[in-house]
Amino acid sequence: MNNNFNISSALNALKQVKFDLFQRDFLLTWEKEYEDIWSVLKVAEILKHLYETNNTLEVFRRGLGISWFRDNSTRTRIAFSSACNFLGLSHQEMDEQKLQIYHGETIRETVNMISFMAQVIGIRDDMYMGKGNKFMKEVAESLDEGFKEGVISQRPAVINLQCDLDHPTQTMSDLLHIKNYFGHLEKLKGKKIVMSWAYSSRYGKPLSVPQGIITLMSRFGMDVVLCCPEGYKPHQDILDKAEKFSNISGGNFQITDNMKKAFKDADVVYPKSWAPYQIMTKRTELINRGQEKGLEKLEKECIEQNSNFKDWVCDENLMSLTKDGKALYMHCLPADIQGLNCKEGEVTKKVFEQYRLDTYKEAGYKPFIIAAMIMLCSLQDAISIIEKNLKEF
């Protein structure tokens, strides 16, 4: 708990910032203005302080928060449910195997049927390149039609709980963790953060976290380094965005295929595996064509390609190269921990154990980031509502 946190000062600071999130979905961080990102961080800090000081904030007197997970999840699944509970929403999780989608019901039908009393719909759809973000937009368009035509009385906000392109709730939790680790957002200027690929024997890990990290941290004046082997770079459009944001913020964006060079004097390191963009794109094409044998072959190719880089592991030697040998290690979890849950993986057991509790704290911001997104996207005057609730305590 931050005993020096002052809610009044935080609320006054929010009043000075022009953000625009009401009745807007939160799908990609790079689509949002700097002020929008900043406001979510600030509200998340307020909500976290209220929770830790045993104050409730049930701003919704009724309604549902609906989660739609099309992939497995631990932290984000529980974080969304916790956020809904804290704000006074009942939580309903979708299970496609129990829905009429299995009987051919269209997405537009399903979306309208579940939204009669919904305030927010959180979606995770991260497995297939070109599909996840597209699915979220289809849901949003269906909600627009339903609201416009009077089918639903309020238009639920759509929150991206991870798609094929970005993982906003994760990367913004990461940003808040870094901000509080160093003390202030302004102190991030010039700090070196390394988003590095690391070896995994597992296939098909999404690119959404590395893409989200380089496009978000570059907006805060950080020295962002993307480190990956040849063939593992994100799409050029993402790289261009990171470069653009760095130029605007006065930061720096670099790409290297040398882990030692990248870790040298780093303040923050984020070693994590992801699949090559070309592999993920080909995977989607094979799925669309129903080619199961082709998918099996592609999986073997990807694992074999990864095996060429088994030495890409975050170990004690690499960490010793960082700033004073004390860089902050980060991971979205679960990590492939060499010597613990795998034979060869992203990080050694000794390094992970040293920073294990820090990764837990990193994850601990997510319920409040999600709650902040829900409030700002769903409520017209979220700041006044917080103030009103404070007076009632």
Which residue has better confidence, 233 or 389?
A: 233
Name the band, by pLDDT with cuts 50, 70 and 90, for residue 4: confident
Q: 253 pLDDT exceeds 60? A: yes
Based on the domain organization, do 181 and 50 belong to the same domain? no
pLDDT in tens, 312-361: 999 999 999 999 999 999 999 999 999 999 999 999 999 999 999 999 99
Based on the domain organization, do 199 and 182 belong to the same domain? yes
Based on the domain organization, do 230 and 286 belong to the same domain? yes
Note whether residue 161 is domain-resident. yes
pLDDT in tens, 188-198: 999 999 999 99
pLDDT score, position 392: 62
Q: Span 13-39, mean pLDDT?
A: 97
CA 84, 90, 96, 101 dihedral sign is: negative
Based on the domain organization, do 281 and 141 belong to the same domain? no
Number of domains in the chain: 2
Based on the domain organization, do 70 and 175 belong to the same domain? no
Name the band, by pLDDT with cuts 50, 70 and 90, for residue 217: very high
Based on the domain organization, do 227 and 311 belong to the same domain? yes
pLDDT in tens, 263-293: 999 999 999 999 999 999 999 999 999 998 9
pLDDT score, position 27: 98
Q: 11 pLDDT exceeds 70? A: yes
Residue 156 domain boundaries: 7-166+366-392
Output the pTM of the full model: 0.96
Based on the domain organization, do 353 and 377 belong to the same domain? no
pLDDT score, position 102: 60
Note whether residue 120 is domain-resident. yes
Q: Span 298-302, mean pLDDT?
A: 92
pLDDT score, position 100: 77
pLDDT score, position 181: 97
CATH code of the domain containing 159: 3.40.50.1370
